[in-house]
């Protein structure tokens, strides 16, 4: 039985824009977050509080959070790698702190030069401080369906990271197909295993469309009862592992899917298409959303709304 | 229970190239068909025998069929609107004749200026001649999941056309989402209804990716037990109803899906990616296949094969 209602977590302003080569103006980021929340997205990943030496694109996280209008009920999330990041996020009045870990040892070693277990243990102070401050804590588990370095990632490895993140007190845990290699059967297997150790209704699916499988995987995840999905307007972000390839699944495509399935999202698709057009123009790139492109083309052509 | 094996019908050389603005050289078409059959595609829709006044892009159907190497076991299909087309197809030694009809009255009237019932009745002589000649007969039912003119298409209307096509003696019937508006639940509903009046194993799913839903719909169709799928290498074809929008689902993405699900296709994905690159260069357009782009980027970068 697929759910009647899902929450869509919009990750474009953070996960998307972080992968942009050029710095996107703070005012553009603020407008993007504001327009997304107004379109009905209840959770917007808005910034990273990471070292600007590592991720210069996100150096203005404080200014972005200071500049946005806070829509009541909307959760504004930020990514924090350490206590310094947490302090910045707290000061900026973020609603949700996002920590992260890989399900792949090879990825963890290559990316942050330590084991999965060590990387998660390092988040203990952040997790504790987040809970003490009364904020929401979310964990993102990367490479849950495959790794650019080691290939296959065992289901047991994903479950192990879910359990570690659960022990840190996470309110929500993302199962992320960072490189988009997953297909529906494996997606269901991993989500079913994860939901045996963590409440299914607080697991989310974060799918990349690199191999064109994201919508299939999301449908498969719905069949597993998953109720939270990540997406990036206009497919912002691309794929850092394959030049010119697709990255995050586009929010427009996900909302189109949910509308077709009669699943409530609270998101206005027309507004979302406009936002996709706005940000694509702002960064000077074509939208990677197929639904976005089709709906925009129809609108420009004045075509009947039934197409 | 999803099938262990599927047949992929490659429609790029016909359905794809027919939508190209510029004429594609006969030699290019021949090479495309040959490379596709060598890559393991058992059924290649290779040409149309229609009036060159209507479809100048397909004026060289006879030359294409005369020029290709016939791979044993491969079915070379051609589209024929009438007896004149059938005669051409017969002379060209096509293996399968494709006739067509819409499930939408509005589309039928706008497109061919007659009712659905009339349009199918007109195919009676072609159907009879095809069977008399011992050739395979396939019918393609367009707008089965929605129509650019009337919007919703009742499931009963699709079933009615399936029954009419069955009465003509069709060996295989395509349920086509011509404008890509379908989503998984509706896809399953339509396919389940169609398979109550026609053998499921001879129904095929023809999905367009205009709204990014094709892979989700194919997965849903697999869950309904469908074993035949249409796809177009590099997503050739585009969408004639929305400028710049995506058309046929890309064969690379479909084969990637099947490989991930452990479903046998007989198609070599590496070769397919090369073919997608070849035809995209030949027509001077970027590939619309996400799996194709990602796999090509990895190959060019010399990345590990696991990504």
CA distance A251 to A264: 14
Average pLDDT of span A70-85: 97
DSSP type of residue A82 = S
CB A215 within 8 A of CB A231: no
* pLDDT over 90, % of chain A: 91
| B180 reaches A (C-beta below 8 A) | yes
pLDDT at B243: 75
Residue in the structure block whose two tokens are 């103006």: A25
Query: Residue A198: pLDDT above 80?
Result: yes
Whether residue A96 lies within 8 A of chain B, CB to CB, comes out as no
What's the mean pLDDT in B235-241?
85
CA B60 to CA B68: how far, in whole Å? 12
Share the mean pLDDT of chain A. 95
- Contact (Cβ atoms closer than 8 angstroms) between residue A77 and residue A43: yes
The angle, 0 to 180 degrees and rounded to 10, between the axes of the packed helices B83-91 and B124-132 is: 20
Contact between B79 and B98 under an 8 Å Cβ cutoff? The reply is yes
Split at pLDDT 50, 70, 90, the class of A189 is very high
**B186/A291 Cβ within 8 A:** no
* Shortest Cα–Cα distance, B261 to chain A (Å): 6
CB B263 within 8 A of CB B224: no
Which tens digits make up the pLDDT trace of B122-157? 999 999 999 999 999 999 999 999 999 999 999 999
> What residues of chain A lie within 8 A of the CB of B142, using their CB?
none
Is the overall model pTM greater than 0.90, yes or no? yes
Residue B304 pLDDT greater than 70, yes or no: no
Give residues 185 to 224 of A whose Cβ lies within 8 Å of B.
185-186, 209-213, 215-216, 218-220
pLDDT on residue B303: 59
Of A15, A3, A2, residue with least CA distance to A251: A15
Compute the nearest-CA separation of A74 from chain B (Å).
Answer: 27
Q: Is the per-residue pLDDT at A148 higher than 80? A: yes
Q: What is the distance between the alpha carbons of residues B161 and B154, in angstroms, rounded to a whole number?
A: 11
Contact at 8 Å (CB) between B160 and B117?
Answer: no
Tell whether A3 is within 8 A of chain B (Cβ): no
Whether residues B179 and A261 touch (CB distance < 8 A) is answered with: no
| Token pair listed for A88 | 């910045």
Which residues from chain B sit within 8 angstroms of residue A148, using beta carbons? 303-304, 306-307
Contact A184 B219 (CB under 8 A): yes
For residue B238, pLDDT beyond 60: yes
The ipTM of this complex is 0.95
Supply the pLDDT for residue A239: 78
Collapsing DSSP to helix, strand or coil, B204 comes out as strand
DSSP B138: E
Q: What percent of chain A has pLDDT over 70?
A: 98
The pLDDT of B276-284, averaged and rounded, is 97
How far is it, in rounded angstroms, from Cα B124 to Cα A118?
A: 72
> Domains in chain B, start-ordered, CATH in brackets?
7-300 (3.20.20.70)
């Amino acid at each position: 039985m697929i759910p009647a209602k899902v929450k869509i977590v919009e990750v474009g302003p953070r996960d998307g824009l972080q992968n942009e080569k050029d710095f996107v103006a703070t005012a553009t980021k603020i407008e993007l977050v504001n327009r997304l929340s107004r379109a009905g997205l209840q959770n917007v990943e808005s910034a990273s509080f990471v070292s600007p030496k590592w991720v210069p694109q996100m150096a203005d996280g404080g200014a972005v959070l200071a500049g946005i209008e806070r829509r009541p009920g909307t959760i504004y999330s930020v990514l924090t790698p350490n206590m310094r990041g947490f302090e910045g996020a707290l000061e900026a009045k973020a609603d949700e702190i996002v920590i992260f870990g890989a399900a792949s040892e090879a990825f963890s070693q290559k990316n942050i030069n330590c084991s999965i277990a060590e990387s998660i243990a390092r988040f203990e102070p952040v997790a504790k401080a987040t809970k003490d401050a009364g904020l929401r804590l979310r964990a993102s588990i990367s490479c849950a369906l495959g790794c650019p370095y080691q290939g296959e990632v065992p289901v047991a490895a994903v479950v192990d990271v879910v359990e570690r993140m659960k022990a840190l007190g996470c309110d929500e845990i993302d199962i992320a197909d960072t490189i988009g290699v997953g297909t529906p059967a494996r997606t269901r297997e991993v989500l079913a295993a994860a939901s045996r150790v963590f409440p299914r209704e607080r697991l989310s699916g974060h799918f990349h469309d690199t191999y064109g499988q994201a919508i299939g995987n999301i449908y498969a995840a719905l069949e597993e009862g998953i109720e939270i999905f990540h997406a990036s307007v206009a497919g912002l972000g691309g794929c850092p592992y394959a030049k010119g390839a697709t990255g995050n699944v586009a929010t427009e495509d996900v909302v189109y899917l949910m509308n077709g399935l009669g699943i409530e999202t609270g998101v206005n698709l027309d507004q979302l298409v406009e936002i996709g057009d706005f940000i694509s123009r702002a960064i000077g790139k074509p939208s990677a959303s197929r639904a976005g492109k089709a709906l925009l083309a129809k609108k420009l052509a004045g075509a009947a709304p039934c197409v």
